[in-house]
């Protein structure tokens, strides 16, 4: 097969361009993230629907107003001291964590880096925001999705937003500084560096 | 299409152009920047449940009570305890080679601790063992004082126990005699601007010396000095604080020491460095792990024998570590357990601990155990033994910040931040003329030294901004000392705009400060509050070495 001279002259360049675009848009976003499974196959849906629990029953505020975050094993063991059901996940949780009193190493999707100070009490109690505003439908999922960690920066994929193009085109949906600032601007709220970077 | 070198270049060019249109380069740049914030070399605080612990800070002589907020057992923030009644708010071979008359000495920068007793006991077991410390002024009963004359002492800026000083502030009138308008001078009831280096003359003038001489040296009028002397006499009890640690007045008390086990009393007595013969110390062990007032190195160097060995125990090489033959790293608060002697403004004995809340890094040395080990002494439980002796004595009361009432086990309570406070049986101290003599002698020595060693003109008079400064600045205080303009840094010097202009200096310039004792590089700050003809210097070891024994200086742009 032969191409006209002008096309065959540009074909190698076009081929290189297409290969790079395919690799950069399809392969790179998958390769940059490391996928790690959560230690326990936890169902928010079962706890909310069958257990009748609300978000703050487990993700509670302490007496001093600070946010306790992911509950410790003590809280789980209060109900799961003995198996609640016969599922394999339940048995595994009891055998691996409750009985040996070993804290599960939960991977927190929304954990901000150490140089960020985020106050849950200000956003939830003062501003009246719903948990879903930032955490989406996490509270009604039947299993915990795998945790995706950036291989270089070690940030959670949730911080940077789900779309792969976020670092080329600015996208919403993550928990980056730009997302915080955008929301504060929309609400007409004052913000300064030291609000979050103490 | 054939595979030619030209086509390969075209393919590579296309790939490069395509890559720029993908997230790859931009994401790698961003991620690499983020990695620098989070890579393994950056310390990560623990995560866990918050809790509160009580203790005492050992970074300075005040020993303030501290409430620590801990996460997962690790302290993440420190605050004062408002309710607290006080703070409100390789040598073995060298030892064998010592010649007759030569000494092995421990220089303790913060005397009065249990560690100090251990050093004294250890030195008692070593031939010619000597325990050295800076002279300790009598305690001051601030609750009784009505007038204070401060000769450049930062009374409202770190002297004594800040909480105690501020609590008593409304009851006394403060007269600050100082060359520059310091923070204390600003907050004093009266600021007397005097010539730098004339503090000792003023001290002599108001304590019975020549008023005419004091007026000539300080720049004050004779009338001012007479009325100052009258005010101190008539509006008493009064207190005079001199620039070199001298304390005189009607409110000095002889403070008892906290009880110690009887067997400890065979220790060697406390000696001052000045009392040592020149060239007499063969082995000098300097404990800088608990910083105290810095003794300029030239004063120490003169006492060392030829081929002497100097070992510094410190958590930074910024202090004597630069001159010592060996510097052994030690833990720093809050990594080490130590007790805190009462500050100058505490009229009664106290006993409290600075607890180790954070594990020290590997490889640090405990100076107490090291020096005790040289003497074959087991001092691992010295603090606990002393707590037992205190409890056995039946003296004093206990303040427990956790509010647990009187504890049955003093040692356990001390580890949780409790403070033992002796009964208030302090005896009034008789006035002595020693301080005045020492102050005058120092002034004469400085003047003679300047005249003898300096042939070039030294146009600027030196004023020390931080006269009582530890050699080392704790990492916990680095923001105040290095990253803010709150204090002149350890290499800082401030000049009046006219002097700075004359020397071609601006704020941020680097200059060479020269005195008869040597020279040092300084970071210049131009400050209206510094009088013309004066250079105000920070409290770092280099500056104290060069300026501590000199009256005048010059700066040269470097």
- Would you say residue B477 lies in a domain? yes
Query: Is B15's CB within 8 Å of A19's CB?
Result: yes
Q: How far apart are CA B541 and CA B548, in angstroms?
A: 10
Query: Is A152's CB within 8 Å of B31's CB?
Result: yes
Tally of domains within chain B: 4
Sequence-separated (6 or more) residues with CB below 8 Å from residue B35? A152, A153, A154
B58 close to B340: Cβ distance less than 8 angstroms: yes
pLDDT at B89 over 80: no
Per-residue pLDDT, B259: 93
The upper half-sphere exposure of residue B171, i.e. CA atoms within 13 Å in the direction of its Cβ, equals: 15
- Cα A32 to Cα A106, A114, B26, B250, distances in angstroms: 21, 22, 13, 75
Q: Which one of A17, A68, A113 has the shortest CB-CB distance to B38?
A: A113
Residue among B6, B9, B11, B12 with most chain A CBs within 10 A, to mutate = B11
Per-residue pLDDT, B164: 86
Per-residue pLDDT, A19: 94
Phi, psi torsion values for B532, nearest 5 degrees: -60, 145
Coil, strand or helix at B139:
strand
Query: Is B18's CB within 8 Å of A66's CB?
Result: no
Tokens coding B45: 């605080």
A48 close to A139: Cβ distance less than 8 angstroms: yes
Q: How many CB atoms lie within 10 A of CB A20?
A: 22
Per-residue pLDDT, B198: 85
Q: Which residues of A touch B15 (CB under 8 A)?
A: 16-17, 19-20
Sequence-separated (6 or more) residues with CB below 8 Å from residue B76? B45, B69, B70
Q: Which pLDDT band holds residue B435 (cuts at 50, 70, 90)?
A: very low
Tell me, what DSSP letter sits at residue B435? H
Residues B235, B211 within the same domain: yes
- Would you say residue B506 lies in a domain? yes
Sequence-separated (6 or more) residues with CB below 8 Å from residue B253? B138, B139, B140, B141, B347, B426, B427, B428, B429
Residues B152, B202 within the same domain: yes
Residues B162, B232 within the same domain: yes
Residues B63, B21 within the same domain: no
The upper half-sphere exposure of residue A165, i.e. CA atoms within 13 Å in the direction of its Cβ, equals: 8
Average the pLDDT over each of A100-104, B95-99, B118-122, B525-529 and give the range with the smallest value. B95-99
Q: Which residue has the higher pLDDT, B508 or B82?
A: B508
Q: How far apart are CA B364 and CA B509, in angstroms?
A: 37
pLDDT at B443 over 70: no
Q: Which residue has the higher pLDDT, B46 or B421?
A: B421
Phi, psi torsion values for B557, nearest 5 degrees: -60, 130
Mean pLDDT of B311-321: 87
Residue among A4, A71, A152 with most chain B CBs within 10 A, to mutate = A152
Q: How far apart are CA B279 and CA B501, in angstroms?
A: 44
Q: How far apart are CA B97 and CA A98, in angstroms?
A: 64
Tokens coding B152: 């450049």
- Would you say residue B206 lies in a domain? yes
Query: Is B27's CB within 8 Å of A28's CB?
Result: yes
pLDDT at B442 over 70: no
CATH classification at residue B491: 2.40.40.20
Percentage of chain A beyond pLDDT 90 is 35
Q: How far apart are CA A166 and CA A175, in angstroms?
A: 12
Per-residue pLDDT, B431: 47
ipTM score for this prediction: 0.80
B551 phi-psi bin (left φ>0, alpha ψ -120 to 50, beta other): alpha
Write out pLDDT tens, residues A25-69.
Answer: 999 988 999 999 999 999 999 999 888 888 889 999 988 888 888
Among the candidates B216, B250, B284, a domain finishes at: B250
Q: How far apart are CA B1 and CA B123, in angstroms?
A: 92
- Would you say residue B418 lies in a domain? no
Q: How far apart are CA A105 and CA A70, in angstroms?
A: 10
Write out pLDDT tens, residues B379-399.
Answer: 889 999 999 999 999 888 898
B186 close to B248: Cβ distance less than 8 angstroms: no
Per-residue pLDDT, B84: 79
Residues B149, B73 within the same domain: no
Q: Which residues of B touch A121 (CB under 8 A)?
A: none
- Would you say residue B460 lies in a domain? yes
Query: Is B14's CB within 8 Å of A15's CB?
Result: yes
Q: How far apart are CA B104 and CA B124, in angstroms?
A: 11
Among the candidates B193, B219, B250, a domain finishes at: B250
pLDDT at B18 over 80: yes
Segments of B17-80 assigned E as strands:
50-56, 65-71, 74-80
Query: Is A24's CB within 8 Å of B38's CB?
Result: no
- Cα B519 to Cα A76, B302, B550, B553, B556, distances in angstroms: 67, 19, 11, 9, 10
Query: Is B14's CB within 8 Å of A29's CB?
Result: no
Q: Classify burial at A186, counting beta carbons within 10 Å of its beta carbon; exposed 0-12, middle 13-18, buried 19 or more.
A: exposed
Q: How far apart are CA B285 and CA A101, in angstroms?
A: 49
Write out pLDDT tens, residues B129-157.
Answer: 899 987 777 788 888 899 999 998 888 88
Residues B21, B76 within the same domain: no
Domain that holds residue B76: 50-80
Per-residue pLDDT, B190: 93
Residues B466, B505 within the same domain: yes
Per-residue pLDDT, B430: 46
Pairing, β B173-178 against β B190-193: parallel
Q: Which residue has the higher pLDDT, B472 or A123?
A: A123
Name the one residue in this structure whose structure tokens are 């976003």: A29
Query: Is B34's CB within 8 Å of A113's CB?
Result: yes
Q: Which pLDDT band holds residue B433 (cuts at 50, 70, 90)?
A: very low
Residues B75, B150 within the same domain: no
* CB proximity under 8 Å: B 272-331 to A: none
* Per-position DSSP letters for B73-123, written without gaps between them: TEEEEEEE-TT-TTT----HHHHHTPPTT-EEEEEESSTTSHHHHHHHHHH
Mean pLDDT of B233-256: 83
Per-residue pLDDT, B256: 87
Q: Which residues of B touch A25 (CB under 8 A)?
A: 22-23
Rounded to 5°, the CA angle B238-B240-B245 comes to 145
- Would you say residue B212 lies in a domain? yes
Residues B72, B147 within the same domain: no
Cis bond leading into B387, ω under 30°? no
The upper half-sphere exposure of residue B241, i.e. CA atoms within 13 Å in the direction of its Cβ, equals: 25
* Per-residue burial over B335-363, b = 16 or more CB atoms within 10 Å of its CB, e = otherwise: bbbbbbbbbbbbbbbbbbbbbbbbebeee
Write out pLDDT tens, residues A62-96.
Answer: 888 888 889 989 999 999 988 888 888 899 999 99
Per-residue pLDDT, B100: 56
Residues B226-234: contacts with CB under 8 Å, at least 24 apart: B228/B149, B228/B175, B228/B192, B229/B205, B231/B147, B231/B175, B232/B147, B232/B149, B232/B206
Q: How far apart are CA B56 and CA B400, in angstroms?
A: 12
Sequence-separated (6 or more) residues with CB below 8 Å from residue A13? B10, B11, B13, B14, B17
Residues B461, B546 within the same domain: yes
A173 phi-psi bin (left φ>0, alpha ψ -120 to 50, beta other): left
Does any CB of chain A come closer than 8 Å to the CB of residue B52? no
Sheet (strand B139-140) strand order: B139-140, B252-254, B427-428
Mean pLDDT of A172-192: 83
Q: How far apart are CA B160 and CA A12, in angstroms?
A: 80
B553 close to B543: Cβ distance less than 8 angstroms: no
Query: Mind telling me how many Å the CA of B484 is from chain A's nearest CA?
Result: 16
Q: Kindly list the residues of chain A whose beta carbon comes within 8 Å of any beta carbon in chain B.
A: 3, 8, 10-21, 23-25, 28-29, 32, 62, 64, 66, 68, 72, 113-115, 150, 152-155, 164-168
Q: How far apart are CA A64 and CA B50, in angstroms?
A: 10
Q: Which pLDDT band holds residue A102 (cuts at 50, 70, 90)?
A: very high
Query: Mind telling me how many Å the CA of A125 is from chain B's nearest CA?
Result: 20
Tell me, what DSSP letter sits at residue B304? E
The upper half-sphere exposure of residue A30, i.e. CA atoms within 13 Å in the direction of its Cβ, equals: 5
Per-residue pLDDT, A29: 86
Residues B490, B541 within the same domain: yes
Tell me, what DSSP letter sits at residue A98? I
pTM, entire model: 0.68
Per-residue pLDDT, B444: 53
Residues B200, B165 within the same domain: yes
B322 close to B316: Cβ distance less than 8 angstroms: no
Percentage of chain B beyond pLDDT 90 is 20
pLDDT at B212 over 50: yes
- Would you say residue B467 lies in a domain? yes
Average the pLDDT over each of A141-150, B98-107, B230-239, B464-473 and give the range with the smallest value. B464-473
Name the one residue in this structure whose structure tokens are 């998958």: A30
CA-closest candidate to residue B78, choices B92, B64, B96: B64
Tell me, what DSSP letter sits at residue B325? S
Q: How many CB atoms lie within 10 A of CB B131?
A: 22
Does any CB of chain A come closer than 8 Å to the CB of residue B363? no
Please provide the average confidence, as pLDDT, over all residues in chain B. Answer: 82
Sheet (strand B238-241) strand order: B190-193, B173-178, B147-150, B238-241, B247-249
pLDDT at A14 over 90: yes
- Would you say residue B380 lies in a domain? no
């Amino acid at each position: 097969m032969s191409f006209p001279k002008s096309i065959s002259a540009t074909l190698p360049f076009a081929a290189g361009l297409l290969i790079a675009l395919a690799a950069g848009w399809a392969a790179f976003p998958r390769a940059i993230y490391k996928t790690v499974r959560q230690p326990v196959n936890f169902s928010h849906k079962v706890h909310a629907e069958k257990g009748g629990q609300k978000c703050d029953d487990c993700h509670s505020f302490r007496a001093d107003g600070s946010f306790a975050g992911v509950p410790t094993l003590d809280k789980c063991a209060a109900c799961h001291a003995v198996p609640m059901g016969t599922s394999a996940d339940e048995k595994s949780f009891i055998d691996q964590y409750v009985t040996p009193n070993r804290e599960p190493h939960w991977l927190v999707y929304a954990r901000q880096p150490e140089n960020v100070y985020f106050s849950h009490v200000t956003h939830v109690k003062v501003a009246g925001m719903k948990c879903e505003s930032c955490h989406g439908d996490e509270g009604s999922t039947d299993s915990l999705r795998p945790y995706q960690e950036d291989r270089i920066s070690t940030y959670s994929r949730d911080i940077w937003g789900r779309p792969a193009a976020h670092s080329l085109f600015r996208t919403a949906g993550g928990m980056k500084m730009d997302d915080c600032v955008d929301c504060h601007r929309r609400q007409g709220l004052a913000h300064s560096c030291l609000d979050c970077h103490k | 299409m054939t595979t030619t070198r030209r086509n390969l270049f075209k393919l590579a060019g296309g790939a490069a152009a395509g890559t720029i249109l993908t997230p790859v380069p931009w994401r790698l740049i961003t991620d690499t920047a983020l990695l620098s914030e989070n890579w393994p070399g950056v310390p990560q605080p623990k995560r866990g449940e918050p809790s509160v612990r009580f203790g005492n800070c050992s970074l300075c002589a005040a020993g303030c009570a501290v409430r620590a907020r801990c996460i997962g057992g690790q302290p993440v923030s420190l605050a004062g305890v408002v309710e607290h009644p006080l703070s409100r708010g390789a040598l073995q071979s060298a030892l064998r080679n010592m010649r007759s008359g030569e000494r092995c000495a421990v220089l303790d920068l913060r005397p009065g601790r249990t560690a100090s007793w251990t050093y004294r006991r250890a030195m008692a077991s070593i031939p010619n063992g000597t325990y050295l410390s800076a002279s300790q002024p009598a305690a001051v009963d601030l609750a009784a004082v009505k007038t204070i004359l401060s000769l450049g002492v930062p009374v409202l800026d770190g002297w004594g126990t800040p909480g105690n000083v501020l609590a008593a502030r409304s009851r006394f009138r403060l007269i600050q005699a100082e060359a520059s308008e310091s923070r204390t001078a600003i907050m004093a009831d009266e600021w007397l601007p005097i010539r730098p280096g004339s503090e000792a003359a003023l001290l002599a003038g108001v304590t019975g010396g020549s008023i005419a001489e004091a007026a000539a040296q300080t720049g004050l009028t004779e009338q001012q000095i007479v009325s100052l002397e009258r005010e101190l006499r008539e509006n008493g009890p009064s207190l005079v604080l001199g620039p070199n640690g001298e304390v005189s007045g009607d409110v000095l008390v002889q403070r008892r020491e906290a009880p110690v086990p009887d067997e400890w009393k065979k220790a060697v007595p406390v000696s001052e460095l000045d009392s040592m013969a020149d060239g007499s110390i063969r082995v000098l062990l300097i404990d800088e792990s608990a910083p105290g007032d810095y003794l300029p190195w030239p004063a120490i160097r003169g006492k060392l024998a030829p081929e002497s060995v100097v070992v510094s125990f410190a958590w930074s090489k910024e202090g004597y570590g630069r001159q010592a033959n060996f510097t052994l790293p030690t833990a720093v608060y809050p990594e080490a357990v130590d007790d805190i002697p009462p500050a100058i403004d505490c009229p009664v004995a106290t006993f409290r601990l600075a607890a180790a809340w954070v594990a020290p890094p590997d490889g640090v040395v405990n100076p107490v155990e090291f020096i005790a080990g040289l003497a074959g002494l087991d001092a691992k439980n010295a603090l606990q033994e002393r707590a037992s002796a205190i409890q056995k004595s039946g003296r004093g009361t206990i303040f427990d910040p956790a509010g647990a009432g009187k504890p049955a086990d003093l040692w356990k309570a001390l580890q949780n931040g409790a403070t033992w406070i002796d009964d208030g049986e302090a005896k009034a101290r008789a006035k002595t003329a020693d301080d005045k003599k020492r102050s005058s002698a120092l002034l004469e020595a400085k003047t003679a030294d300047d005249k003898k060693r300096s042939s070039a003109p030294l146009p600027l008079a030196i004023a020390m901004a931080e006269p009582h400064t530890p050699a080392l600045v704790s990492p916990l205080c680095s923001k105040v000392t290095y990253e803010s303009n709150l204090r002149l840094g350890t290499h800082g010097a401030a000049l009046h705009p006219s002097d700075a202009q004359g020397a071609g200096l601006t704020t941020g310039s680097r200059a060479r400060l020269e005195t008869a004792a040597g020279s040092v590089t300084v970071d210049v700050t131009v400050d209206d509050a510094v009088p013309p003809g004066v250079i105000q210097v920070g409290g770092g070891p280099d500056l104290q070495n060069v300026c501590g024994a000199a009256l005048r200086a010059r700066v040269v742009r470097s």
